[in-house]
Amino acid sequence: MIWFCQLIDKPYVGKGRWFCAILWLTVLVFQQPAVASMTSIDNVRVRPSPERTRIVFDLGRPVEHKVFALTNPRRLVIDINDAKLKTPIPDLDLDLRDTPIIAMRSSRREGNNLRVVLDLAEQVRPRSFVLKPILQYGDRLVVDLYSDVQQLTPVVQKADQITRQMRDVVIAIDAGHGGDDPGAIGPGRLYEKTVVLSIATRLHELFERELGFKSVLTRKGDYYVAHRERTEIARKSQADVFLSIHADAFKTAEASGASVYAISQKGATSEAARWLAEKENRADLIGGVGGVSLDDKDDLLAGVLLDLSMTASLSASLEMGESVLKSISGVNKLHKKHVEQAAFLVLKSPDIPSLLVETGFISNPGEARKLRSTAHQQKMANAIFNGVKSHMSDQPPAGSFLAWKHHGESERLAVHVIERGDTLSEIANRYRVSFENLKKVNGLRGNAIRIGQTLKIPTT
Ligand SMILES: [Zn+2]
C-alpha cells in the first residue's frame, strides 16, 4: 500500500496526499471485517482405518490451507489461513492410538493463520481436501495420512533384489583366431577361424533363444581380437561363463577327437596340453599389432593377481567342462575323457568360469570333413549348449532367473521392475507369458509402462 501511494504521488502532487490518507482509512475500515471473519474450528476429529488415518477439521466456513512435511524429526504441518481453534488441542482429548501421529499441537503464525503440527512415528503420504456442508456437517477440511510404503527403504531394496534375482545368465562366446590369424589349417584350406566362427554364432543363437540366458560374442566376423580384449568383452558384459571355441591340429593326421580345457594355474598338465597352450597363445603375436608389448607387461603383473582369484572359478570350470564333454561325446569322438588343464591366456578371466573347447582335429581329414559341414557345426553347437545349460541349471548363479526356476519357483518372486528400453511385449516374451495375460494381471489398459514400475508376472 505504501508502494501504491508513492506511485500515485507523482501525477497527483498535493491532492495525492489527501487521496492516500483516504485510501489508508478505507483500508483500515475494510481490514476490520477481515479480522471478524476469522473462521472458528469447532472440532478436530482423528479416525484411524487400515488404509489411512483421517483428520477432520470442522469449520465455520471454507478455508485456504496448505499441507507439507518436515523431517528430523518427522512432522506434518497443516497451515490454515484465518482460523482459530475453538478448543485448544490438549483439551480436545484426541485418541491417537493406531495412528502414525505421536502428538498434535498448534500455534498462531503471521497474524490470524493457524499452524497445526503433527509429530509422526512414520513417513506418511498426505492428501488434503475441503468438503462442503452436508447433513449435520458443515464445511470441513480433511487431511488423510496414507502410510508411505514407496519411500520405505527396505521395500525399495526388496524390489531391487527381485530384479537382480530375475537376471539372465550371461554366456560370453569366443570364436578363436580371426583376421590375419587363421588358426589351424586343415585339408582343402579349411581354416579354424571360419569353422569356429560358424559354431560360435550358432551357439550364440541357441543361448539367445533360451529363457534365462543371454549371450555375447567376442567377435562377429573375420577380424582379429586380442586375447585380453576377448576377456574384457566378457567382463564388461558381466559374463557368468566364458566359452572359447577352437579346432585342434597336430603334426600327425591320426590325432582326433574333441577336448575341453579349463585353466591351470601351474600350467599344462600334460606335454600335449603345454604344446597346445603355446600354439594358442602365440596368436597374439600374429594378430595383435601395436600396444601388444604394453599389454604383455601388464599381463605379468595382472597374471599373478588373477591367478589368486581363479581358484574358485577353476572348480566351477572343471565341473562345467565335464558336463560339456559328456554332451559332446554324443556327437563326436573325444580326444581325452576328462577336462584337461592348460595355461591358455584366453581362459585367464578371474571369477568367470571359463572353458576352451577344441571341437575336433582339423588336421584329421575325417574330422575336417565333419567340421566343414554346417549340419555338424550345428550339432556341435547344440552339444556345447546342452552341456553348459545342464550345468548352469543344476548350479545356477545366485540371483539369476535360473536360480529362481531351480528353487521350484516356490518363492513366487515373479516381479519385474521396468528398466529403460523395456516393452510389454518383450517382457511377456521373456517370461513366456501371454501379452494379454500380463496386461490383465497388472490392470493395464494401454501399453504404456514407466521406468521403475513393478509388474507382476503370472507364474502359471
Ligand atoms: Zn585355436
Cα 246 to middle of ligand 1, angstroms: 4
pLDDT for position 425:
86
- Mean pLDDT: which of 197-201, 263-267, 431-435 is highest? 197-201
Listed range (211-225, 227-241, 392-406) with the worst mean pLDDT: 392-406
227-236 and 292-328 helices, crossing angle to 10°: 70
Q: Whole-model pTM?
A: 0.51
Cα 190 to middle of ligand 1, angstroms: 13
The strand ranges marked E within 195-311 are: 213-217, 241-248, 259-263
| 168-394 homologous superfamily | Zn-dependent exopeptidases (3.40.630.40)
**Residue 198 — pLDDT band, cuts 50, 70, 90?**
very high
pLDDT in tens, 257-312: 999 988 765 543 444 455 556 656 655 544 433 223 333 434 444 444 444 445 56
CA distance 165 to 213: 13
Cα 286 to middle of ligand 1, angstroms: 13
Cα 276 to middle of ligand 1, angstroms: 9
Cα 248 to middle of ligand 1, angstroms: 6
Cα 247 to middle of ligand 1, angstroms: 5
Q: Which residues contact 183 (CB under 8 A, 6 or more apart)?
A: 176, 177, 191, 192, 193, 196, 246, 247, 283
pLDDT in tens, 109-154: 888 899 999 999 888 888 888 887 776 778 888 898 887 654 333 3
CATH number for the domain formed by residue range(s) 39-150: 2.60.40.3500
Q: Are 342 and 269 in contact (CB under 8 A)?
A: yes
Cα 267 to middle of ligand 1, angstroms: 17
The domain limits of the chain are 2-36, 39-150, 156-161+401-456, 168-394
Bridge-based pairing of strands 241-248 and 169-175 is: parallel
CATH number for the domain formed by residue range(s) 156-161+401-456: 3.10.350.10
Kindly tell me the sign of the dihedral angle through the C-alpha atoms of 223, 227, 231, 232: negative
3-class DSSP state of 252: coil
Cα 24 to middle of ligand 1, angstroms: 97
Q: Which residues contact 91 (CB under 8 A, 6 or more apart)?
A: none
Nearest to 183 by CA among 228, 233, 225, 220: 225
Bridge-based pairing of strands 241-248 and 354-361 is: parallel
Cα 379 to middle of ligand 1, angstroms: 19
pLDDT for position 127:
85
Q: Are 242 and 172 in contact (CB under 8 A)?
A: yes
Cα 311 to middle of ligand 1, angstroms: 24
pLDDT for position 344:
73
Cα 261 to middle of ligand 1, angstroms: 12
Cα 176 to middle of ligand 1, angstroms: 5
Nearest to 222 by CA among 248, 198, 246, 188: 198
The answer to whether residue 50 scores a pLDDT higher than 80 is no
Residue with cell 562377429: 220
pLDDT for position 49:
77
